[in-house]
Amino acid sequence: MAKVKEMTRVTESPPPVVIDYTREPIVVVDNLHVIYRVYGGGGGKGTAATALMRILRRQNRPQMKEVHAVRGVSFVAYRGDAIGVIGTNGSGKSTLLKAIAGLLPPARGAVYTQGRPSLLGVNAALMRDLSGERNIILGCLAMGLSPEETRAKYDEIVKFADLKPGFIHYPMSAYSSGMGARLRFAIAAARTHDVLLIDEALATGDAKFRKRSKAKINELRRDAGAVFLVAHNLDQVEETCNRVIWLDEGKIRMDGDPKEVIAAYNEAIGK
Ligand SMILES: Nc1ncnc2c1ncn2[C@@H]1O[C@H](COP(=O)(O)OP(=O)(O)OP(=O)(O)O)[C@@H](O)[C@H]1O
């Protein structure tokens, strides 16, 4: 813990990565760069006039643009860490989580993880046309639980999601966004994860659910390798995490104690 505090610095260049040899590393992010390639950014498509302009300019294909979303991020997450990732819109938080989950390839650098990362996001792949009940079963099997383990966990998941009576049998398309988020979180929390990545999943939950999910995250933290939480609610990050990474234009601006990082972030955004 003391070592994590040592990492707290505000500098123009990213803070140096201080390695704590007394703790077990779970995620190592080494000079990670992620670049999106966007096609068709060259202005309008589909109209005869823009097509003619492209032909006249001898541009047969729409232009490709690059968005350099993560720019040289390095840090080490240790066993038991719950790391909040904060930053303004478009600073690269979701991209960083997706890259740790292995869903986006690094353009440069690398991510090493101990065990399998699981990304729990607002868009986590549950089937909208299927009932909550079916989604619990599919979700548990997809996470690698056996049919017996799935049956054993079913009641606990339903209880934790705490949906309105009967809703567990309705298709998820009938759920509010908060209800969907609760069920997704309840399913993901049913097993221990080596690396659990949570992207705004709790943001739509109400105060009561946030309190319960905080307790659950603490429980998961005890059993899991490391937990990452992307959220705009800074109180929630401060309550839940033992460490905060502040991303600014794809780079780490600060990494350390939640109170210190959040205070510096609030100051920078003029809060
Ligand atoms: N699929 C994509 N294709 C192209 N560019 C993308 C894509 N997803 C994100 N970006 C761009 O990458 C940058 C980082 O986006 P990202 O979603 O990681 O930021 P964020 O910090 O999670 O933002 P927010 O707080 O708004 O959720 C932004 O400039 C965004 O426009």
Distance 81 CA to ligand 1 centre (A): 25
Domain holding 64: CATH number?
3.40.50.300
In angstroms, what CA-CA distances link 169 with 150, 176, 267? 17, 14, 47
**Tokens at 20, concatenated:** 């704590």
Question: Is position 95 within any domain?
Answer: yes
φ/ψ of 199, rounded to 5, equals -110, 100
Residue 218's pLDDT is 79
**Is the minimum distance from the CB of 40 to ligand 1 under 6 angstroms?**
no
Total domains, the chain: 1
Question: Is position 144 within any domain?
Answer: no
Q: Model confidence at 121, in pLDDT bands (50, 70, 90)? A: low
Question: Is position 202 within any domain?
Answer: yes
**Is the minimum distance from the CB of 38 to ligand 1 under 6 angstroms?**
yes
Give the mean pLDDT of 115-132: 78
pLDDT of 61 > 80? The answer is no
Q: Model confidence at 87, in pLDDT bands (50, 70, 90)? A: very high
Range of the domain at 69: 25-116+193-269
**Is the minimum distance from the CB of 95 to ligand 1 under 6 angstroms?**
yes
H/E stretch holding 210 reads helix 207-223
Question: Is position 254 within any domain?
Answer: yes
CB atoms within 10 A of CB 233: 16
Give the mean pLDDT of 61-90: 91
Would you give the DSSP letter of residue 117? E
Report the nearest atom of ligand 1 relative to the CA of 37: 4
Distance 36 CA to ligand 1 centre (A): 9
Determine the residue type at 141: L
**Tokens at 261, concatenated:** 């990082």
Short-list 233, 118, 261, CA closest to 187: 118
Would you give the DSSP letter of residue 239? H
Question: Is position 234 within any domain?
Answer: yes
Residue 15's pLDDT is 73
For 17-58, how does the pLDDT look when each residue is reduced to its tens digit (9 = 90+)? 878 889 999 999 999 999 999 876 555 556 788 778 877 877
pLDDT of 205 > 80? The answer is no
Question: Is position 20 within any domain?
Answer: no
Question: Is position 178 within any domain?
Answer: no
pLDDT of 166 > 50? The answer is yes
**Is the minimum distance from the CB of 92 to ligand 1 under 6 angstroms?**
yes
Model ipTM over 0.95: yes
What is the spatial distance between Cα 31 and Cα 41, in angstroms, rounded to a whole number?
28
Determine the residue type at 52: L
Question: Is position 55 within any domain?
Answer: yes
